[in-house]
Amino acid sequence: MKFVIALFSPSHSPASRRALRFAEAVLAGGHEIVRLFLYQDGVHSASANTVSAQDELDIAAQWSQFVDRHQLDGVVCIAAGLRRGVLDEQEAKRHQRPAANLGSGWELSGLGQLHEASQHADRLVCFGGH
């Protein structure tokens, strides 16, 4: 079965941890993840500058490691990312910001990427949001 996973909550929320565990279970079950899409506050999981307290799980880092390890298509909504300060090199230069902070394995792109991926998947599973 092919899945698209969309995350709407920040990395410190329980929804982010549940989404990561679900994604791990999808692959462990022999299924495919067509795309991981971070939207709204979920884009914070793609920031390379997120720091967790020593007694907490670093879910943002675990997401980046997961995407890299499995060579997944990790997409961050560009509008939501810009609004929350999650920038790649190109957007940092374009908006005259001092640095980029998009984590390894992620790319900025439009909301259309979520729609396009859902057309090629059997299931769209969303975590978090209002």
CATH number of the domain that residue 18 is part of: 3.40.1260.10
118: pLDDT strictly greater than 80? yes
Q: Judge whether residue 31 has pLDDT over 70.
A: yes
DSSP secondary structure, 88-110, as one string: -HHHHHHTT-S---BPTTEEEE-
pLDDT (tens digit, 9 = 90+) per residue, 82-105?
Answer: 999 999 999 999 999 999 999 999
- What pLDDT is recorded for position 56? 85
Residues ≥6 apart with Cβ < 8 Å to 53 = none
Distance CA 34, CA 16 (A): 18
Active-site residue (options: 4, 7, 75, 77): 77
Q: What element of type H or E holds 26?
A: helix 14-28
Residue 14 vs residue 51, higher pLDDT: 14
Is residue 128 scored above 80 in pLDDT?
yes
What is each CA distance from 107 to 18, 21, 29, 55, 117, in whole angstroms? 22, 21, 26, 29, 15
Contact (CB, 8 A) for 91 and 14: no
Q: Is the pLDDT of residue 130 over 70?
A: no
Q: What does the alpha-carbon distance between residue 40 and residue 123 come to, in Å, rounded to a whole number? A: 20
Q: Which domain holds residue 65?
A: 2-127
Residue 66 has pLDDT above 90, yes or no: yes
- Number of domains present in the structure of the chain: 1
* Residue 77 annotated in active site: yes
Say which residue, 130 or 100, is predicted with more confidence. Answer: 100
- Identify whether the C-beta of residue 44 lies closer than 8 Å to the C-beta of residue 82: no
